[in-house]
Structure 1
Amino acid sequence: MDLEKLKYPIGKPEIPKNISEKHISDWILILEEFPQKLENLVENLSSTQLDTPYRPDGWTIRQVIHHVSDSHHNSYTRFKWTLTEEQPIIKAYYEDRWAALFDSKNAPIQLSLHAIKALHAKWTYFLKGLTTSQLEQVFIHPEGNEKVSLKENIGIYAWHCNHHYAHIEQLMIREGWR
């Protein structure tokens, strides 16, 4: 299989220039439903299956699950910074280095599944209460000094949920586990 297709099984994120209320509500629904959907996908996997990389030189399913927890916690914090500071320059992090840490490689996935479930419940509650003007507020990503609005970031993280879900699901299909 093509390495690019393994890296981006649903393609790269395509966030529309004109983001509608429908886009936002659809994306929030993805964030809201993702924890249970992910848990259902991985609940019967063995330790050996969890330690299988989704592509050559890629992360294991275990690392992907811990990465989602880490990444989404960082994103939630970025929302809070954006609403409490004037165009903050967010703190980027080395996700590959985080994924190489002991907990990402070895911890039970239930730790991150529980964290994702709690975070997404709080995050979606928070997102549903944002006003149109709050959704327009931006943070600055230090890689390229790119301004990212909160409404764009909701779309990015809805994509991120589907992206990593597809990594796991496609591996399971290829291996005959599903």
Structure 2
Amino acid sequence: MQTVPEEWIYPVGRFAAPETLDVTAFEDAIREIKVLPRILDACVENLDEEQLRMPYRDGGWSIQQIIHHLADSHMNAYIRCKLALTENDPVIKPYDQDLWAETNDVLLVPHNYSITMLHALHHRWAVLLASLSPEQRLRRFYHPESEEYVAIWEVALKYAWHGRHHAMQIRSFRSRMEWL
């Protein structure tokens, strides 16, 4: 396997969490979460089945797997936010995203089902996040893999980055392949 350039893996850079809540960054994250499904629509526009099944880099996921991964991952993040709002410091259940990317639904179901899911999910998520009081933004859950508490505001920033990250992987792959 050849060495893959860092910018192919992290085209928008690696996620760097701020130390404290920045209200402007939180509001920007809500806007990014809200528009991601429309951005993904544009990212996959006019791609055929063969193109959708091609990995965006050597050893990486296909475009179809990325889209399904976003639905799986963001659904989990939304649920984790709801748990943090309704329970005191709940312990969340980690999952293996690489194994999830190989399940039959990811391999057999067209990507547009997950984009449709993301349209509804992201609308609800953005409404929920925008409605939070300053105290609710600080509510958190415990992640046993990283052994740390994660606040809802951090989740919003991370998943805004996560959507941008994967959308740019698809865009830069399209550009490298000259699928403009």
TM-score interval, normalised by the smaller of the two chains: over 0.9
Separation of aligned partners in 1, 2:26 and 2:53: 34
Separation of aligned partners in 2, 1:4 and 1:102: 30
Percent identity for Structure 1 against Structure 2: 38
Any idea what SS the aligned residue of 1:173 has?
helix
Any idea what SS the aligned residue of 1:139 has?
strand
Which residues of structure 2 form unaligned runs of 5+? none
> Deviations for 1:59-101, whole angstroms, at most 9, x for unmatched residues?
0000000000000100000001111111011111111001001
The corresponding residue for 1:11 is 13
Query: Shift of the alpha carbon at 1:5?
Result: 2.3
RMSD of aligned residue pairs (Cα, Å): 1.1
State how 1:78-93 maps to structure 2 within 5 Å. Answer: 78-93=80-95
Alignment equivalent of 1:21, drawn from 20, 23, 48: 23
Alignment equivalent of 2:68, drawn from 66, 69, 90: 66
Query: Shift of the alpha carbon at 1:3?
Result: 3.5
> Deviations for 1:15-69, whole angstroms, at most 9, x for unmatched residues?
2113221111101000011111111221210001100101111100000000000
Number of residue pairs matched by the alignment:
178
- TM-score, with structure 2 as normaliser: 0.95
2:66 is matched by which residue type in structure 1? V
The corresponding residue for 1:148 is 150
The corresponding residue for 2:132 is 130
The corresponding residue for 1:94 is 96
Alignment equivalent of 2:108, drawn from 103, 106, 109: 106
- TM-score, with structure 1 as normaliser: 0.96
Separation of aligned partners in 2, 1:164 and 1:116: 14
The corresponding residue for 2:32 is 30
Which residues of structure 1 form unaligned runs of 5+? none
The corresponding residue for 2:123 is 121
